[in-house]
């Protein structure tokens, strides 16, 4: 019997239970549907990366690509090849769930089954519960229960005797032109495995190095995980034998990804709305010229500008700097987090609704287990603390490379280098943020 493997965020051959399930049903048509509902709002970096990732997958699997609404395309295709089953890894995002329900119904009408096997997570959302069968709202108890729940061993590799079906008419993968100067990481399963094993050799240093944006101290696995070029289960299995703070902290970071997916599953409205509704009542400023300065990396606060420029040049920003830049937008410029989250999703290759929007809400103080609103990051002291040699600022704000104090250039140095004066006074805006917070607390 013929089956269809509908790839989405699982662009790999190894440890891919849905693909193995499809092949177990018989000759398999591997399919990817370029869905305008996801493609059109994606920023160029993510589109370009997705196309690269699909090209990489096609070296191992003859994926047919179609364009259009998956509800029509998947059903038509399954009928065309006479499939009795369509296999997917379950999607837990707000849009993906709705889409899959609609596809499942349309397939059922045609007498075809949608089979969901696995998900992009080690433990799928809605599985980790407390003693009263409730989902967790706070990270630390979630992560304990998540580790206690455990996960399956990685699934095997692609069988040698895999049999594939092809479609006669498929579309060419589009070429995505990136603005000059943007350099994206290499996509695909092979690149993901290479990056992962290189990082695994230095995971012992992770605990110390991960908060320093000026050193290559993190794994850079987020885009590979986003597109499923490697599964977190594979990562966790490789970490299993390793003791020490580096491996332990790394496991916790994977748990954050799973926590946010769970929170978004429980509260799909929080993709747009405040998790803590009282924050919707706070007074905010409309995004204006300062917002543009933030987007373009010319706020006059070097660590903020370095981060915003790194984002545009590479489609990635260091986690510590994501927090600093997000805090600056919400608490120094008083702009609502949704504007910043949208900008991040426009540029991030790893842009992921759950991790991004809840990372923003956490920083804004309106999210889960949030850093209290009154703890306002001082961008200058954050820069000095986490980028002590100013290597990061020097790299991304090169006009400050030779000044005496790149984290707080003098007015004379700003004039000489053309680097702007601060768009706002942090001390005054910190107080303003606290005053506005008092109003919603009262
Ligand atoms: C405002 C803001 C927005 C963010 N937007 C995204 C996003 O769109 N996509 C995304 O994948 N991550 C996002 N993060 C989380 C984090 O910044 C990135 O996962 C991390 O910087 C990716 O680099 P890395 O793979 O080298 O991380 P590492 O430090 O090597 O971490 C390993 C993996 O753990 C996961 N992880 C680490 N930290 C977090 C976290 N705080 N939340 C969720 N998962 C985490 C990621 O999958 C990451 O690849 C955001 C954080 C903030 C504060």
Domain with residue 241: its CATH number is: 1.25.40.80
Whether the pLDDT of residue 382 is over 70: the answer is yes
Q: How far is the CA of 318 from the centre of ligand 1 (A)?
A: 8
**Which residue has the CA at smallest separation from atom 44 of ligand 1?**
257
**Which residue has the CA at smallest separation from atom 48 of ligand 1?**
222
Q: How far is the CA of 392 from the centre of ligand 1 (A)?
A: 18
> Which of 147, 229, 156 is CA-nearest to residue 196?
229
Q: What is the mean pLDDT of residues 290-302?
A: 98
Do 10 and 125 lie in one domain? The reply is no
Long-range contacts of 36-40 (CB under 8 A, 24+ apart): 36/67, 36/68, 36/69, 37/69, 37/95, 37/99, 38/95
**What is the best residue among 310, 350, 365, 369 to mutate for testing ligand 1's pocket, by most ligand atoms within 8 Å of CB?**
350
Of the three residues 119, 138, 168, the one that is the final residue of a domain is 119
**Which residue has the CA at smallest separation from atom 51 of ligand 1?**
359
CB of 210 closer than 6 angstroms to any ligand 1 atom: yes
Do 213 and 282 lie in one domain? The reply is no
Of the three residues 119, 138, 171, the one that is the final residue of a domain is 119
Mean pLDDT of the residues in the chain:
96
CB of 273 closer than 6 angstroms to any ligand 1 atom: no
Do 139 and 81 lie in one domain? The reply is no
CB of 264 closer than 6 angstroms to any ligand 1 atom: no
CB of 351 closer than 6 angstroms to any ligand 1 atom: yes
Do 250 and 304 lie in one domain? The reply is no
* Residue pair 95/45 in contact by the 8 Å Cβ criterion: no
State the pLDDT at residue 243.
87
The answer to whether residue 155 sits within a structural domain is no
The answer to whether residue 200 sits within a structural domain is yes
Q: How far is the CA of 212 from the centre of ligand 1 (A)?
A: 14
Report the CATH number that the domain containing residue 39 is assigned in CATH. 3.40.50.620
CA distance 56 to 193: 13
The answer to whether residue 46 sits within a structural domain is yes
The answer to whether residue 56 sits within a structural domain is yes
- What separation in angstroms does the CA of 238 have from each of 120, 141, 216, 234, 357? 17, 24, 21, 6, 29
**Which residue has the CA at smallest separation from atom 43 of ligand 1?**
257
Report the CATH number that the domain containing residue 345 is assigned in CATH. 1.10.579.10
**Which residue has the CA at smallest separation from atom 19 of ligand 1?**
222
Largest CA distance in the chain: 75
Q: How far is the CA of 121 from the centre of ligand 1 (A)?
A: 14
Pairing of strands 113-116, 83-88: parallel
CA distance 45 to 178: 7
Q: How far is the CA of 228 from the centre of ligand 1 (A)?
A: 15
Q: How far is the CA of 222 from the centre of ligand 1 (A)?
A: 6
The answer to whether residue 219 sits within a structural domain is yes
Do 210 and 298 lie in one domain? The reply is no
Do 306 and 436 lie in one domain? The reply is yes
Do 312 and 431 lie in one domain? The reply is yes
CB of 295 closer than 6 angstroms to any ligand 1 atom: no
State the pLDDT at residue 188.
98
Q: Length of the chain in residues, anyone?
A: 442
CB of 258 closer than 6 angstroms to any ligand 1 atom: no
CB of 211 closer than 6 angstroms to any ligand 1 atom: no
Do 82 and 143 lie in one domain? The reply is no
Question: Which atom of ligand 1 lies at the shortest distance from residue 254's CA?
Answer: 34
The answer to whether residue 390 sits within a structural domain is yes
Q: CA 38, 39, 41 angle in degrees (round to 5)?
A: 75
Q: What is the mean pLDDT of residues 197-207?
A: 96
State the pLDDT at residue 370.
64
The answer to whether residue 112 sits within a structural domain is yes
Do 245 and 131 lie in one domain? The reply is yes
Q: Confidence band (pLDDT; 50, 70, 90) for 441?
A: confident
Could you list the residue range(s) of the whole structural domain that residue 364 is in? 277-441
CB of 350 closer than 6 angstroms to any ligand 1 atom: yes
The answer to whether residue 173 sits within a structural domain is no
Of the three residues 234, 266, 298, the one that is the final residue of a domain is 266
Question: Exposed (0-12), middle (13-18) or buried (19+): which is 207, by Cβ within 10 Å?
Answer: middle
Do 134 and 115 lie in one domain? The reply is no
CB of 355 closer than 6 angstroms to any ligand 1 atom: yes
Number of domains in the chain: 3
Range scoring the smallest mean pLDDT among 116-130, 138-152, 303-317, 358-372: 358-372
Q: Confidence band (pLDDT; 50, 70, 90) for 259?
A: very high
Do 103 and 22 lie in one domain? The reply is yes
The string of pLDDT tens digits covering residues 76-97 is 999 999 999 999 999 999 999 9
The string of pLDDT tens digits covering residues 209-254 is 999 999 999 999 999 999 999 999 999 999 998 989 999 999 999 9
Do 316 and 413 lie in one domain? The reply is yes
CB of 260 closer than 6 angstroms to any ligand 1 atom: yes
């Amino acid at each position: 019997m013929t089956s269809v493997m509908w790839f989405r965020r699982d662009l790999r051959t190894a440890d891919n239970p849905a693909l193995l399930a499809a092949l177990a049903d018989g000759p398999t048509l591997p399919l990817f549907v370029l869905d305008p509902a996801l493609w059109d709002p994606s920023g160029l970096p993510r589109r370009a990366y997705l196309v690269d990732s699909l090209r990489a997958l096609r070296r191992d699997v003859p994926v047919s690509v179609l364009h259009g609404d998956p509800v029509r395309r998947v059903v038509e295709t399954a009928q065309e090849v006479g499939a009795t089953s369509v296999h997917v890894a379950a999607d837990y995002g707000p849009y993906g769930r709705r889409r899959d329900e609609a596809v499942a119904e349309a397939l059922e009408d045609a007498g075809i089954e949608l089979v969901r096997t696995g998900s992009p997570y080690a433990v799928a959302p809605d599985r980790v519960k407390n003693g009263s069968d409730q989902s967790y709202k706070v990270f630390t108890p979630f992560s304990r229960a998540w580790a206690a729940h455990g996960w399956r061993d990685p699934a095997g590799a692609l069988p040698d005797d895999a049999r594939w079906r092809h479609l006669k008419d498929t579309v060419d993968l589009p070429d995505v032109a990136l603005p000059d100067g943007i350099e994206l990481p290499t996509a695909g399963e092979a690149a993901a495995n290479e990056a992962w094993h290189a990082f695994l050799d230095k995971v012992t240093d992770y605990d110390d190095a991960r908060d320093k944006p000026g050193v290559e101290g993190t794994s850079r696995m987020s885009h590979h995980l986003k597109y499923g070029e490697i599964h977190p289960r594979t990562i966790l299995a490789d970490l299993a034998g390793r003791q020490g703070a580096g491996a332990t902290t790394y496991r916790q970071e994977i748990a954050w990804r799973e926590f946010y997916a769970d929170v978004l599953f429980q509260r799909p409205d929080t993709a747009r709305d405040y998790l803590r509704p009282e924050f919707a009542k706070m007074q905010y400023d409309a995004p204006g010229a300062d917002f543009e300065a933030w987007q373009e990396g010319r706020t006059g606060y070097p660590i903020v500008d370095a981060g915003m420029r790194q984002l545009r040049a590479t489609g990635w920003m260091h986690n510590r700097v994501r927090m600093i830049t997000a805090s600056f937008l919400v608490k120094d410029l008083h702009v609502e987090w949704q504007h910043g989250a949208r900008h991040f999703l426009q540029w991030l290759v790893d842009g992921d609704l759950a991790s991004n929007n809840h990372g923003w809400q956490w920083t804004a103080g309106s999210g889960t287990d949030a850093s209290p609103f009154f703890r306002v990051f001082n961008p200058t002291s954050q820069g000095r603390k986490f980028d002590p040699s100013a290597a990061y600022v020097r790299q991304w704000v090169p006009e400050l490379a030779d000044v005496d104090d790149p984290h707080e250039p003098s007015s004379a140095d700003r004039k000489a280098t053309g680097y702007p004066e601060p768009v706002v006074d942090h001390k005054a805006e910190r107080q303003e943020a606290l005053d506005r917070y008092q109003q919603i607390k009262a």
